[in-house]
Amino acid sequence: MVARSRHEEDKEALRLQIMDAAREMFVAEGVERVSMRRIAEKIGYSPTTIYLYFRDKNDLLHQVCEETFARLTRNIQAIQQLSDDPLEKLRAGLREYIQFGLQHPEQYAMTFISPLPRDVEFEFRETNGSIAFDTLRSVITDCADANLLKHNDVELLGQTLWAAIHGLTSLLIQHGGFPFVERGRLIDSLISTVIAGIRR
Amino acid sequence: MVARSRHEEDKEALRLQIMDAAREMFVAEGVERVSMRRIAEKIGYSPTTIYLYFRDKNDLLHQVCEETFARLTRNIQAIQQLSDDPLEKLRAGLREYIQFGLQHPEQYAMTFISPLPRDVEFEFRETNGSIAFDTLRSVITDCADANLLKHNDVELLGQTLWAAIHGLTSLLIQHGGFPFVERGRLIDSLISTVIAGIRR
DNA sequence: TTTCTAACTTAACACCGTTAACTTCATTTC
DNA sequence: GAAATGAAGTTAACGGTGTTAAGTTAGAAA
């Protein structure tokens, strides 16, 4: 049994090695431009070996995205500790979301911007994706409980805010060539606008 | 010269035929799943003929997107005539933008969501893309002139609003599987929120 | 009538994701 | 200790992709 456990560890090690290589290449070059063959080459295995650990390229992509979700959630939750004012927490969370996207543009793009195949999209709900959204919901609930909002439909508000910050994040990532006003100002403007729009 | 002109018309006709086929297939199946070979097959020419009319697949894609921009702009401008209240015009414009995206999801996706190659992105500024944005700018300017806004940085406001509505449009298109609240409510919520956020 | 040239095609290159069939080799069983 | 088992990894192939160089063809110009 010790031998078997050791064995399992080895398998897991290669799985992680594949994910590390894939993540690094996806981030550096974009998902489209990275082929299974080149990932395999990078880690010194044949292309087919990857298929022993991941169903297909989409599965690999999906698993890297799950990591990203988890990291984003952790970051946002960490930021929350810094203030007691619920609206300030919300503001900080929104800002952290945008910053995270800009700091990991390829990861953000492949998680939130690229279309996910139907089956992946379905799982999506019961995994880190929903946990990330839970965080947003809970901050908004705090604001609602403190009676700071125009109305208390937390689900609606959460999705509204998510849509807005996702829009800015993805525009800045995908259309860097568009003559945007200075980034910091635009981010401040969006966050201020939506917060002003929902507060009592 | 008559012959020559007739000749040019023929060329143009095939160019349009290619664009029609490409648009239709892109919209029906998604850009990724449509190959140059299949577009060619559809119009009864060899794949290489397309390259006599378009530099490459991206160029073809780009030209279809330009059409889309033009159509969107026309729609938004038409809607503007329906009201005199600048804020109502703005509201209607934002709503039309989102509706347009939902009615032409593949066209919207390939124009605004998919990353454009650097060179395409550069031209983008002097063509229909900027004309569409001009429309938004002009509605906001009207609001500013009527002293209805918190501040009058039209460029900043335009980009803020664009980010927000683009976010919702692209989320609804790309992540149809996410358990959103009812679409109409979400759209209303976003528009109301951003308008409330910028008005005096 | 011959020459030229624009329009179009054929054939190929170098890649892609994925699968079936194989080798290899450590572990287990007799 | 030898044979059988089975997991891990590889080779080779299939049917596709975007794109290009070279070749054909048919109609206009000389």
Q: Which of B106, B150, B155, B159 to mutate to test the interface with A (most CBs of A within 10 A)?
A: B159
Would you call A181 and B155 a contact, using CB atoms and an 8 Å cutoff? yes
User: What number of H helices and E strands is found in chain A?
Assistant: 10, 0
Quick one: which of A161, A155, A152, A170 has its CA closest to A190?
A161
Q: With contacts defined as CB-CB under 8 Å, which chain B residues touch A185?
A: 156
Query: Helix B86-103 to helix B183-198 angle, to the nearest 10 degrees?
Result: 140
Q: With contacts defined as CB-CB under 8 Å, which chain A residues touch B181?
A: 153, 155-156, 159
- What confidence tier does A118 reach under pLDDT thresholds 50, 70, 90? very low
Prediction pTM value: 0.86
Q: What is the interface size between A and B, counted as CB pairs within 8 Å?
A: 139
Specify whether the CB–CB gap between B23 and B64 falls below 8 A.
Answer: yes
**What tokens were used for A87?**
């609206």
Q: Name residue B199's beta-bridge partners.
A: B149
First to last CA, chain A: 62
Residue A6 has pLDDT above 60, yes or no: no
Query: Helix A57-80 to helix A128-145 angle, to the nearest 10 degrees?
Result: 30
Q: Which nucleotides of D are covered by protein (CB under 7 A)?
A: 8-12, 16-22, 28-29
User: Tens digits of per-residue pLDDT, B42-57?
Assistant: 999 999 999 999 999 9
Residue B176 has pLDDT above 80, yes or no: no
Minimal C-alpha gap between A133 and chain B (Å): 11
User: Tens digits of per-residue pLDDT, B73-107?
Assistant: 999 999 999 999 999 999 999 999 999 999 888 77
Residue B124 has pLDDT above 70, yes or no: no
Number of Cβ within 10 Å of residue A33's Cβ equals 10
